[in-house]
A and B are shown apart, each in its own frame.
Chain A
Amino acid sequence: MAIRREVWDDARIVGVGYAPITRDSGTSVLDLALQACGNAIDDAGIDEKRVNGVLSYSFNHDSVPVQAVATGLGLGDQTWALDSALGGQAPCYLAIAAAQAIHAGAADAILIYRALNGRSGARVGQARLPGAAADQRYAIGFDAYAQNIALWARRYLTETGQEPDDLGAVPVAQRLHAIDNPRAVMRKPLSYEQYLETPVVADPFRLVDCTIEVDGACAVLVVSKEVAAESKQPPVSFLSGGYRLGHRSGLDAGDALLWPDLTRNYTSILADELWGEAGLGPEEVDMAQIYDCFSSSVLINMEGLGLAGRGEGIEMIRSGATAKDGPLPTNTNGGLLAEGYLHGMNTLAEAVLQLQGRGEVKPVAQPETCVVTSGAMMDGSALVLANR
C-alpha cells in the first residue's frame, strides 16, 4: 500500500547541517550530533525553541539517543521522538516518518540526525553483527560487511555479463564530483587506471569500491508548510516516498541467505509506487542521490528504480550521464564512496542542498526534482523530492 498523498502536502525540508567529516573527530558523538543539529537549525533560520521533534538512527549502538540531543541543544518540550536501529536504510524513512508526524499534528519542526565516530570509534566494516544467522557466517571467517555486499556484486556481474573491473566506473565518476566538494574526505583525482591499481579487498571489490568510514554528523530539519514560511531557506517538498522490507529479508544486517535474488534489492519492489505517486517517471527526474556504501549498490539501486536499464548502469555512468553536465547528475557530493560514510544521511542532505541551489558541486542545469535512496540490500527507503 502507498502512503496517502495528503501526507506530503504539509511537510517541507528546510535546513541542513553538518559536523566536520574527518578520520578522527577528537570529540564525542554527542558533540558531533549537537554541532550538526545546531547548524541545521541555524541554516533554516528557525528559532530552536520551535523544534518539537527529534529523530535519529544508529547501527550497533554507535550513536547517542535523541533525548541527549534535545537536552544538549536546550530544546523545549518534545512531542515526537524516535531512535531507530535501521542503519543506512533509515534516512529517507525518517524523513517520511517526520512528514507523517507533521501531517498527524504530532510535531511541526523535526530534526533528523546521524552522528558517529565511525572511523576513530567502532567501525562498521569490522563490526560483529548480532543475529541468529551470524553464528554460521563467523565460524567460516565470512565476517565483514564488504564481504556480504560482494556476494551481491558478483552475482550482479555474472548475470549481466560484466567483469569485476567494470565496477570502477562508479568510483571514478563519483570522485570527479568529490574533487569540488570541500566536505569530501576523498578528493584526489581518480582515473580508471588508478582504480585498477588499488588493492582488491573483498573480491570483486577493490578498496575504492568501498565507502570510506569517517567520523562526523549530518542533520536536516523537516517542518510544516507554515513553519517553512518562516525559514530563510527555500522549501523542498516531497512528491513521494516509501519504505520496503522485502519478503525473506533475513535475520541481521548481513544476512541475505534467504533473499531470492542478489541482483535486485528493495528498490525493485518500491519503484512502481515511488514513480507512480510522484507523477513522474525515472526518465524525467533531474537528479539522483543513490545510497552507495559500495559501488555495486549504485548499480543495483539505479537499475531497480529504472534509472538505468538492467545491466546498463555501468555503461550509463561511463557515458557521462551522471556527471554534472549529464542528463542525470548522480551522487554530486561524491557519495558515501568519497564524501564519507555517514550512512546515507549525507545522501539525503545533498539532495536537499542541490534542490535549493546550494550544492558545492554545481550541475549545469539546476535540478527541480531529485530521487534519493537509503539502503543497499533487502530493505530500504526512497524519496522523490522537488524544489517547490
Chain B
Amino acid sequence: MSVTSDTVLSSGQWWNALAEERLLMLRCPKCGAAWMPFLPHCPDCGRGPIPEVVESRGAGRLYSWVGVQSSISSPDEAPFVVGSVILDEGAPIYGRLLGEPGAEARVEAVFVERGGRTCVDFEVVG
C-alpha cells in the first residue's frame, strides 16, 4: 500500500508509525529496491525517482543472526538474539529474534514496547 509518493520518510516518522504497529519502508519506483528510512535516495539508482513510502507486511526470511551475550545499552535484557531479516518486499532490517534461529527461517514482525518506544522484533514461524 502506498502511503504517500512525494515525502521522504524521516527516522522520526518511521518510529511514530511503529507506535501504530505499522512497519514503513521506502521503495524505488524505478527498480523496486526497498530499504529502511535512513536514506533519502535509492541505494541502487541514486538521485532520481522520488522513493515511495510503503508499508511492509512484516514477513521475511532470516539472513543471519548474532547471539548478544551482553548488551551495553540493554544490559538487563541480554542474552538475546538479533536477526538480520530480509523482508519479502526486499528491505533488509535488524530486529530481535524470538524463537530458534536457523538459516533462511521464515519470520514475522512483532511489535514490542521497549525503552519507551515501539520496536519491531521478529518471531520465527517456520
A216-259 vs B: 1/0 string, CB under 8 Å? Answer: 00000000000000000000000000000001100100000110
- CA A132 to CA B71, docked complex, whole Å: 20
Cβ contact within 8 Å between A151 and B38:
no
Interface status of B103 (Cβ within 8 A of chain A): yes
Cβ contact within 8 Å between A202 and B64:
no
Q: A135-B11, A135-B38, A139-B114 are in contact. Are A248 and B43 (CB under 8 A)?
A: yes
Which parts of A95-143 form the interface with B (CB within 8 Å)? 126, 132-133, 135-143
Cβ contact within 8 Å between A202 and B36:
no
Interface status of A200 (Cβ within 8 A of chain B): yes
Q: Is the interface of B mostly helix, strand, loop or mixed?
A: strand
Q: A139-B117, A140-B119 are in contact. Are A132 and B64 (CB under 8 A)?
A: no
Cβ contact within 8 Å between A152 and B64:
yes
Cβ contact within 8 Å between B64 and A262:
yes
Cβ contact within 8 Å between A154 and B64:
yes
- CA A236 to CA B36, docked complex, whole Å: 46
Chain B, interface residues (CB within 8 Å), range: 35 or more
Residues of A within 8 A of B94 (CB): 136-137, 140, 142, 257
Cβ contact within 8 Å between B67 and A203:
yes
Cβ contact within 8 Å between B38 and A143:
no
Whole-angstrom distance from the CB of A82 to the nearest CB of chain B?
28
Chain A, interface residues (CB within 8 Å), range: 20 to 34
Query: Among B73, B77, B103, which residue has its beta carbon within 8 angstroms of that of A158?
Result: B103
Which parts of A346-383 form the interface with B (CB within 8 Å)? none
Q: Pull 30 A–B residue pairs with CB atoms less than 8 Å apart, ordered by A.
A: A133-B36, A133-B38, A135-B11, A137-B94, A139-B114, A139-B115, A140-B95, A140-B114, A140-B121, A141-B73, A141-B82, A141-B96, A142-B71, A143-B71, A143-B72, A144-B71, A147-B66, A152-B64, A154-B64, A154-B65, A155-B84, A158-B64, A199-B69, A200-B69, A202-B66, A247-B43, A251-B39, A257-B84, A258-B92, A262-B84
Q: Told that A144-B71, A200-B69 touch, could you supply 16 new A-B pairs with CB distance under 8 A? A: A132-B11, A136-B11, A136-B93, A139-B117, A140-B96, A141-B77, A143-B71, A150-B67, A151-B82, A151-B84, A158-B64, A199-B69, A200-B67, A201-B70, A203-B69, A247-B44
